[in-house]
Amino acid sequence: MHQAVARVRLGSVDFEAKSVRKASQNFTWCDVTGDNVEETPFDLSTTLGVVTCNVINAKLTQHSTQPPPHLSESELLGLMESHGIGTDASMAQHIGNIVKRGYVSLDGATRQLTPEPIGLALSLAYTLVDPGLAQPTVRSAIENECNKIAQGTAMKNDVVRRVLATFERKFHFFRKHVDRIPVMLAMAYAQQRGHAKEGESLQQWNKACRAIAAVALEDLLYSRDSIALEETARPAPDVEETPQEHAERQCSIISRVQAQLDELGFQASRDGEEGVNEPAAKRPRSAFTPDSNKDPLQTFHELCQLLSVQSKVLSHPQEGNQFRCRIELVLGDGEAREFLS
């Protein structure tokens, strides 16, 4: 392949032009390596040395830099293979799954994959909680552990124990910070509908975007064969909480999440209020109002039907001098509940 470079000076401004030509129209190394050689219209190699040219026409145009296009299906498959994600038989299925779940959309003509709001929200939320969940580093670390077993430098039981311990720590850490998920989902929906506002939610979104932008796939690929499983683990959970401490922390999380959702216009509905300024997907919640003209037992059956109760048992145990009522319900999802008056 022949390449030529011509440098042109117009007044005090220097310009540079390049041309590319195949060395032969027959079989070349470019055909062996599969390189796509796009030849330029003009061969600059025919102009050698220092020459003086007459400027026939000069035109000034203005252009802006454009972001790189989204990955195509084939490009993503190549990256998955490089980073050891999936096998030859499962990689295409992985891409099919994220398309089917609505995380990305696939252009049938260009085969380009475009992230959808729910896919972006989950990726950013995982990045805020545990970046390893959104990167191939965990899988690489497990592969390295398996290689140690094959090489005889590690025992299978020890590797399994370390892997389980790592993911248990990840699970507990993720559970304590799971509030990032609804906030990022709401932020993605708000941006899509033009409801995004300045506040803590947007700050978290931008923070996650900066963290992902700072990740270099080349660096991850370089460290693929050396990363240790312990490097992917999250900090161990703090001392175990009492039931009261756990309940107080959950209430605090719920209050914080609701405050962030309020910033985005996702206020909780109140009975009798339609929520004029709420997003279109908002659905007001209505309370069950018993009919005073109906028998209490009939009202109870209507409530059970509204809640999709599968079965119900009423009993009247006599405890000392007190008369109590026990109600046992099995809800539509199979969960059993018991109420005692």
The answer, yes or no, to whether residue 265 has pLDDT greater than 80, is no
Interval 139-161 mean pLDDT:
87
Q: Which residue has the tokens 């559970």?
A: 175
The answer, yes or no, to whether residue 270 has pLDDT greater than 50, is no
Task: Indicate the SS3 state at residue 322.
Answer: strand
Other residues' Cβ atoms within 10 Å of the Cβ of residue 234: 20
Interval 200-207 mean pLDDT:
88
Interval 8-37 mean pLDDT:
69
5-19, 45-59, 297-311: lowest mean pLDDT where? 297-311
Interval 122-136 mean pLDDT:
88
CA–CA separation, 220 and 135 (whole Å): 9
Question: Given pLDDT bands bounded at 50, 70 and 90, which one contains residue 210?
Answer: very high
CA–CA separation, 251 and 256 (whole Å): 9
Question: What's the pLDDT tens digit per position in 213-258?
Answer: 888 888 888 877 777 766 666 555 555 677 777 777 777 777 777 7
In sequence order, what are the residues at sequence separation of 6 or more whose Cβ sits closer than 8 angstroms to the Cβ of residue 171?
none
Question: What's the pLDDT tens digit per position in 272-300?
Answer: 444 444 443 344 444 556 677 777 667 77
Q: Which residue has the tokens 């509204």?
A: 306
The answer, yes or no, to whether residue 82 has pLDDT greater than 50, is yes
pTM, entire model: 0.57
Q: Which residue has the tokens 């978290």?
A: 204
CA–CA separation, 227 and 223 (whole Å): 6
Above pLDDT 90, what percent of the chain? 12
CA 159 to mean position of chain CA atoms: 28
Q: Kindly state the helix (H) or strand (E) to which residue 179 belongs, with its residue range.
A: none
CA–CA separation, 189 and 205 (whole Å): 12
Interval 184-207 mean pLDDT:
83
Nearest to 104 by CA among 130, 96, 84: 96
Question: What's the pLDDT tens digit per position in 97-126?
Answer: 999 999 999 998 889 999 998 899 999 999
Mean pLDDT of the chain: 76
Q: Which pLDDT value is given to residue 282?
A: 42
Q: Which pLDDT value is given to residue 95?
A: 92
> What is the residue type of 182?
P
